[in-house]
Amino acid sequence: MISLNHALDIPLYRQLSTQIMESVVRGELLAGDTLPSVRALAGDLGVNMHTVNKSYHELEAKGIIEIVPKKGAVIKAKEQKISTKRLEGLSDEFRPIVVEALINGMNQEEIYMLITNIISKVRED
């Protein structure tokens, strides 16, 4: 289930990508499953097609989905081990958030806790 909230600061296409990834993590979407077409999903959500398109391209760039001609957006099989390049990318994205947490007075333990909480929230939901 996808749920987008206009009141958040996070752009809609980002929210959409995150939620599709969460569905994959939870096992609601499996490797080989096809996502709805851009037009269909935009129609379901009542948002502009560009929003969905942007999100699908982001997911493609991240290696989560593959755009197959005539078939659409297909979920890719999970890689066995994360590549060093991807790890570096994630590290770069984590960095500013970790710094912000530190500045706000969180210690290492609290940051671990926060991440553990997020993981269990994503998995259970």
Partner 1 sequence: MEFAILIMTILFVSLFQIGVPFFVKRTVVFGVTIPYEQARHPKVMHYKKLYAMLTTIVAFVAIVGFFIWNQANPLDETKLVLIGSIAPFVILLTGLAFYFYFHYKITKLKKAKKWFGEVKQVRVADLTARAKDEMLSSFFHFIPTVIAVTLIILSVNLFDQLPNQIPTHWGPDGMPDAFTDKSWLSVLNLPIMLIVLQVMFFGINFFTKRSGIKINAGNMKSSKLRQLRLRKYTSWFLFVTNILMTLLFAFLQLNLLYENLFSHALLVVFPVGFTVIMLVGALVLAVKVGSVDSDLEGKLVVDQSGKTKTESIDEDRYWKGGLVYFNPNDPSVFVEKRFGIGWTLNFANPIGYFVLILPIVLIFVFSFLI
The contact set with partner 1 (CB under 8 A) reads: 1-7, 20, 23, 28-29, 35-36, 39-49
Q: Which is nearer to partner 1, 40 or 82 (CB)?
A: 40
Are residues 93 and 100 in contact, defined by beta-carbon separation less than 8 angstroms?
Answer: no
Q: Which is nearer to partner 1, 47 or 106 (CB)?
A: 47
Any idea what DSSP says for residue 16?
Answer: H
Q: Please, which residues bridge with residue 75 across strands?
A: 65
CB of 74 to partner 1, least distance (A): 13
CB of 38 to partner 1, least distance (A): 9
Q: Which is nearer to partner 1, 53 or 106 (CB)?
A: 53
CB of 7 to partner 1, least distance (A): 7
Helix (H, G, I), strand (E, B) or coil at 68: strand
Please compute Rg for the chain using Cα positions. 16
Q: Which of 27, 38, 26 is nearest to 67 (CA)?
A: 38
